[in-house]
Structure 1
Amino acid sequence: MQRKKKVGYATAAIIVLLVLLGYLLFRDSSDALWKTVTEKCVPSQQQGSPAPCLAVNSHNQSALLKDRNGPHHDLLIPTEKITGIESPALQQHNIPAFFAAAWEARKHLSDEAGKTLPDDILVLAVNSRYSRTQEQLHIHISCLRPEAYQTLREQGSSLSTDWQPLGEELRGHRYLAKKLTSQDLTRDDPFKELYAYVQRQGDSIDNYGLALTVTPDGEKLLLANRGVRFGFNRGSTSELIDPQCSLAR
């Protein structure tokens, strides 16, 4: 009996240590983007070069970093600490327009491709609190997956400036969609647009992933994917991106 107790205590101790180790490793890796920007890109920019970032913009307080996943995939990252889509800072009136900055930065994808990429094949994406791997806000800048592009082309004419369910699923998930009333992402900040809707629903923005693309007619279109923290759909919108940019071929 005594031996069984000792084995039980030892097993419990090992489990606790493994959980603690896992937490410490995750915490360290989840700060990777933040450390890259603040410990490398910003100091390097002060010396005249933003490396390893592509750019550091003090005006909109953001850095542009090439993502390791795919040749046509960049990240727009605030240079101030903003954890993610749920951060109250994103609802302040004087916050930089990060979606506007990310949309402006899409030009780098064309530079990489060696030709101008049409706006309607591009997408900006922010994952929900429960589907991201980094504890620093970052906006994915890439191309749409071909099947998502086709669905949005087919559904675009039925959408309005009010949030509504998309007629067909994207990547097996039911998205919400709305057209913006203007082309000005500083005035119509996507983070604030989604937050206002979520508040009316009595919901939490933590659960939502948010994306932006453009219709063939040039109208800016918001997409939101509501996830469930412990479900199969955890609110990813980066699931819509194709870093290989097949549509540009």
Structure 2
Amino acid sequence: MRRAFIPLSLGLALLAFGAAALPLPRDALWLVVRSCIVAQDTFGNPFPCLKVDAGQGAGPGYAIVRAPDRSTHVILTPIVHIPGIESPELLREDAGAYWRAAFEARRYVVESAGGRIRERDVGLALNSMDTRSQDQLHIHAECFRPNVLATLRASAPPPNAGWGRLRATLEGEPYLLRTLTRAELDATNLFALLAAMPGAGGDPSRSKALLIEVGDLLVLAATRSSRRSIESLLDHGCARTLKQG
């Protein structure tokens, strides 16, 4: 029965998740993840995922998937079903591992661009419950539009300053931002930070967020506005990033 499930699930996953021009079912990503887990367990190859990590010790497992729209766009997602940022299990301390693994996954973006971009030009993005297209938690790793990076880097507050307001807007939306050290990324659950940001009231469901590198520091930016997907800030294919470089 399990062997019969493998070609069927892989076929459905590739059909659903690979047809970028078509509207995707909201469970397409979860179907892909399930297929990758079976493929990894059975063949030792996580295809169609780039990687499946079962987790170590208390660390949660995750999969890395190449998005269907651009080769430089990768997605990190849990190997258990977690609908999205509103899921209460993300407030547990170990859930911060998803952000750390996504941060490391930036190397796949650099590799896909033939090494012509720097990891510091690759950021992470997470949609709110209202703006996501898939009901499986996923963190995007992709190049960010150069003007977005420049705005955030110029406005980065000092470490330990907490949340501050971005003077400019991004795509007409107001953002709050705070600076983190690498040590804080290693020790902190960013989902919990988003739940505690001003205006969230412990409910992160309407928050969308991004994480970028600024020298030796990181900037976490978030908004409660739901006018558009956080992906509008990405430079899909890294075209603008490559042109600027």
**TM band (smaller chain):** 0.7 to 0.9
Q: Is the 8 A contact 1:183 1:220 kept in 2?
A: no
The answer as to 2:204 corresponding to 1:208 is: no
The residue aligned with 1:145 is 145
Change (3 A) 1:127 1:218: same
Matches within 5 A, 1:230-249: 233=227, 236-245=229-238, 246-249=240-243
Structural mapping, 1:57-206, within 5 Å: 57-59=53-55, 60-95=60-95, 97-115=97-115, 117-156=117-156, 161-197=161-197, 202=201, 204-206=203-205
Please state how far the C-alpha of 1:158 moved relative to its aligned partner: 6.8
Q: Give deviations 1:106-127, integer Å, cap 9, x for gaps.
A: 1111111121632331110110
2:219 to 215, 218, 221: 221
- Contact 1:102–1:139 under 8 Å retained in 2: yes
Which has the larger Rg?
A: 1
Q: What percent identity do the matched residue pairs reach?
A: 33
Query: So what's the TM-score if we normalise by structure 1?
Result: 0.79
Amino acid paired to 2:123: V
| Pairs within 5 Å for 1:19-38 | 29-38=25-34
Matching residue of 1:13:
none
**CA positional deviation for 1:157:** 5.5
Residue in 2 aligned with 1:5? none
Q: Cα 1:116–1:99, aligned 2, differ >3 Å: closer, same or farther? A: farther
Per-residue deviation, residues 113-158 of structure 1 (Å, max 9, x unmatched): 1216323311101100000111000000001112102212322367
Quick one: distance in 2 between partners of 1:92 and 1:203?
Answer: 13
Give the residue type in structure 2 aligned to 1:45: Q
Provide the C-alpha distance between the structure 2 equivalents of 1:33 and 1:158, rounded to a whole number of angstroms: 37
Unaligned runs of 5+ in 2: 1-22
Structure 1 unaligned spans of 5+: 1-25
Q: Please tell me whether the aligned partners of residues 119 and 213 of structure 1 are also in contact (alpha carbons under 8 angstroms).
A: no
SS in 2 for 1:65: strand
How many residues are treated as equivalent by the alignment?
215
Are 1:159 and 1:177, in contact at CA under 8 Å, matched by a contact in 2?
no
How big is the shift at 1:160?
A: 5.9
Cα distance in 2, alignment partners of residues 96 and 222 from structure 1: 13
